[in-house]
């Protein structure tokens, strides 16, 4: 009778454990999901990059246009040759830098010199 009880115990133990499924193809779906997610993220990042680049390009073109307009306005300012020579000699800078400083300060030599010393 002891043998019969031990046989029953073995049979009960086997009944509690489910049969193992082959795990050969289980990871394939997870791998495919990871690859798909990676591709989608890369696609999103590239579209974000394109959008950012176009925004930066637009901003640069606007800044360039504003700079050109500012230069046109400054070119209209009348400056004296003596003032340009004075600033060139005192500050030891090029003619274009001296002219630019004078034009920015509407021909006022004192303001141009002060701005150059700051």
pLDDT at 99 over 80: yes
- Give residue 47's domain range: 30-76
Judgement on whether residues 69 and 82 belong to the same structural domain of the protein: no
Between CA 44 and CA 82 the distance in angstroms is 61
| Pick from 35-39, 56-60, 77-81: least confident | 35-39
Number of folded domains that form the chain: 2
Between CA 40 and CA 32 the distance in angstroms is 12
The count of other CB atoms within 10 Å of the CB of residue 88 is: 16
Is-contact 103 78, C-beta < 8 A? no
Judgement on whether residues 55 and 71 belong to the same structural domain of the protein: yes
Judgement on whether residues 70 and 81 belong to the same structural domain of the protein: no
108 part of a folded domain = yes
**What are the structure tokens assigned to 78, written together?**
């009348």
**What are the structure tokens assigned to 85, written together?**
């020579």
Q: Is the pTM for the entire model greater than 0.95?
A: no
Q: Which residue has the tokens 């974000």?
A: 48
61 part of a folded domain = yes
């Amino acid at each position: 009778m002891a043998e019969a009880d031990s046989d029953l115990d073995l049979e009960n133990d086997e009944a509690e454990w489910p049969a193992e499924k082959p795990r050969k193809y289980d990871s394939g779906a997870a791998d495919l999901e990871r690859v798909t997610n990676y591709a989608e993220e890369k696609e999103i990042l590239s579209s974000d990059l394109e959008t950012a680049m176009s925004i930066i390009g637009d901003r640069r073109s606007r800044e360039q246009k504003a700079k050109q307009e500012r230069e046109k306005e400054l070119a209209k300012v009348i400056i004296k040759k003596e003032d340009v020579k004075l600033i060139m000699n005192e500050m030891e800078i090029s003619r274009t830098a001296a002219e630019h400083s004078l034009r920015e300060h509407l021909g006022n030599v004192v303001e141009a010199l002060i701005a150059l010393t700051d």
